[in-house]
């Protein structure tokens, strides 16, 4: 077999894996949007069976021979090198997993999700704790299996979402960010400025219609996707099938609209990856920190910006009639109001990353065993009170609010803050390249920002590693400075600091 033949065999095998992963993703999407209530146990069996088949494909011993031969290709193109790099990475990780662990994880995650959903509705952490304990035990087993010699167990899981990242790299940046955020919040809390509030009637049908309009206006291709409702908004899929969800609060249309912009950002990234990379290892996203940068860019640097407020206000007035706000400036202030609250997804930009940093610390303690599962509810309340000055009245507003731990997504939370850091750095770079960015947003003309992101980020998929991709797009390594500068400017103007 020649190196070219070996590479072709690898790529065919990788495409089969990608196709089944996408099928599993559709099952997960259906579970969140349309599955009947009694389908949970059956869905767990389906997910477990698919996971078992995928694990067999991922650990197929023929891949090692194909890869060894294909790595002898003479001067391969960057996308081919990326394919080989990612296949080697995935094969190494899959080969280290004990037999049956992937299937057990898939079954437990699906079952745990159902238990979490009911426990959240009942505000009953004790009902969820045993399931969380089982998921953590399996994730700990996975981390122990896939970790490199001497590698921290949390880093071994984090690497799945943010390749090459580590706690040691992130902690200094997060510490400086935390210091800057707490200082900004102290000044905001001392301000006498009071924020206007939206008022009016906001029917579900009108909210969903406007959400659909905004997603399309951003460039989301509905011929390759759809918009549905879910308890926890998310985006899924790739290539020609990228789906988004949102949620509706009859009293607050901005939750629906900004959740839609957030998930549209994710979807635009997937729809923007070069077509020739689809279903190839090189065609995945660079990292979750890069993925989250896209959602946070469209939600915060576009949707919540002062420049976009006139356009957004006009669209909202058409959709809902009166808003109870006299001007676009009032809408800008209203949607950026800093308010005490318990829910991460409803948090303002000034406080959002404090929610993430709390989860980052708690999940590391859970994984290591320093924090027993049964103590999580109290530990969460204690930390929340220390950071935000209030205690959650019940677990539904506390440690049960997020879906992530029920799904076993240990190591995912810090990618939200990495996404905010990347988004702010990208926005600063975009402003340098498009000096009239504010005027573009004022007109509601979003094609140019999307084209810029397509060129700098989307089209590359995983060909360029995440850190290198962001440094290339932003003009240097990303740290906390652009995000803190963005927040200081925005909230300084709103609260007259």
pLDDT one-digit tens code per residue, 252-274:
999 999 999 999 999 999 999 99
Binned at pLDDT 50, 70 and 90, residue 103 comes out as confident
- Residue 346 is predicted with a pLDDT of 83
Mean residue pLDDT of the chain comes to 95
Q: Which of 86, 108, 263, 270 is catalytic?
A: 263
Instruction: Please determine, for residue 99, whether its predicted confidence score (pLDDT) is greater than 80.
Output: no
Give residue 290's pLDDT: 98
Answer yes or no: is pLDDT of 471 > 80.
yes
Name the pLDDT band for 97 (thresholds 50, 70, 90).
confident
Q: Which of 102-116, 287-301, 307-321 has the lowest mean pLDDT?
A: 102-116
Q: pLDDT tens digit string along 4-22?
A: 999 999 999 999 999 999 9
Q: Where are the domains of the chain?
A: 3-146, 167-494
What class has domain 167-494? mainly alpha
Mean pLDDT of 335-363: 94
Q: What is the pLDDT of residue 437?
A: 96
Banded model confidence at residue 87, pLDDT cuts 50, 70, 90: very high
Residue 106 predicted with pLDDT over 90: no
Residue 208 has a pLDDT of 97
Task: Tell me if residue 263 is catalytic.
Answer: yes
pLDDT at 220: 97
Q: What pLDDT, on the 0 to 100 scale, is given for residue 37?
A: 87
| Mean pLDDT to the nearest integer, 218-239 | 93
Percent above pLDDT 70 for the chain: 100
Tens of pLDDT, residues 394-450: 999 999 999 999 999 999 999 999 999 999 999 999 999 999 999 999 999 899 999
The pLDDT-based confidence of 221 (bands split at 50, 70, 90) is very high
Provide the annotated binding site for Zn(2+). Answer: 262, 266, 292
- The yes-or-no verdict on residue 102 having pLDDT over 90 is no
Cα–Cα distance between 375 and 372 in angstroms, integer? 5
């Amino acid at each position: 077999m020649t190196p070219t033949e070996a590479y072709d065999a690898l790529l065919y095998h990788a495409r089969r894996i990608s196709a089944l992963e996408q099928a599993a993703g559709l099952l997960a999407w259906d579970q969140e949007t349309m599955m009947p209530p009694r389908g949970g146990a059956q869905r767990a069996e389906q997910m477990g069976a698919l996971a078992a088949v995928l694990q067999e494909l991922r650990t197929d011993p023929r891949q090692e021979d194909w890869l060894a031969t294909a790595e002898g290709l003479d001067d391969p193109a960057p996308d081919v090198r990326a394919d080989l790099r990612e296949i080697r990475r995935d094969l190494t990780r899959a080969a280290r997993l004990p037999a049956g662990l992937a299937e057990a994880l898939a079954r437990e995650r699906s079952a745990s999700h159902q238990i979490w959903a009911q426990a959240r509705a009942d505000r009953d952490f004790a009902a969820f704790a045993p399931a969380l304990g089982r998921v953590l035990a399996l994730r700990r087993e996975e981390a122990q299996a896939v970790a490199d010699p001497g590698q921290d167990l949390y880093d071994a899981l984090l690497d799945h979402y943010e390749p090459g990242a580590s706690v040691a790299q992130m902690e200094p940046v997060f510490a400086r960010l935390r210091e800057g955020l707490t200082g900004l919040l102290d000044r905001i809390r001392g301000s006498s400025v009071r924020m206007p509030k939206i008022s009016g009637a906001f029917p579900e049908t009108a909210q969903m219609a406007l959400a659909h309009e905004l997603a399309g206006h951003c460039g989301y291709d509905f011929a390759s996707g759809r918009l549905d409702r879910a308890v926890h908004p998310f985006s899924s899929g790739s290539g020609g099938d990228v789906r988004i969800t949102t949620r509706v609060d009859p009293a607050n249309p901005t939750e629906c609209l900004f959740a839609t912009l957030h998930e549209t950002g994710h979807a635009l990234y997937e729809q923007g990856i070069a077509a020739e990379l689809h279903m190839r290892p090189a065609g995945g996203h660079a990292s979750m920190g890069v993925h989250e940068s896209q959602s946070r860019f469209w939600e915060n640097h576009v949707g919540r910006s002062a420049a976009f407020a006139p356009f957004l206000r006009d669209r909202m007035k058409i959709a809902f009639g009166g808003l109870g706000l006299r001007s676009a400036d009032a809408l800008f202030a209203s949607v950026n109001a800093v308010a005490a609250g318990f829910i991460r997804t409803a948090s303002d930009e000034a406080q959002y990353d404090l929610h993430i940093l709390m989860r980052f610390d708690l999940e590391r303690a859970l994984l290591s065993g320093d924090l027993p599962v049964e103590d999580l509810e109290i530990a969460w309340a204690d930390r929340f009170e220390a950071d935000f000055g209030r205690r959650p009245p019940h677990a539904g507003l506390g440690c049960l609010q997020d879906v992530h731990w029920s799904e076993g997504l240990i190591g995912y939370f810090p990618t939200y803050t990495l996404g905010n850091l990347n988004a702010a750095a990208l926005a600063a770079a975009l402003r340098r390249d498009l000096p009239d960015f504010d005027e573009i947003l004022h007109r509601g003309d979003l094609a140019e920002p999307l084209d810029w992101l397509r060129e700098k980020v989307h089209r590359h998929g995983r060909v360029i590693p995440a850190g290198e991709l962001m440094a290339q797009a932003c003009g240097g390594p990303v740290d906390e400075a652009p995000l803190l500068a963005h927040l200081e400017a925005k909230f300084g103007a709103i609260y007259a600091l």
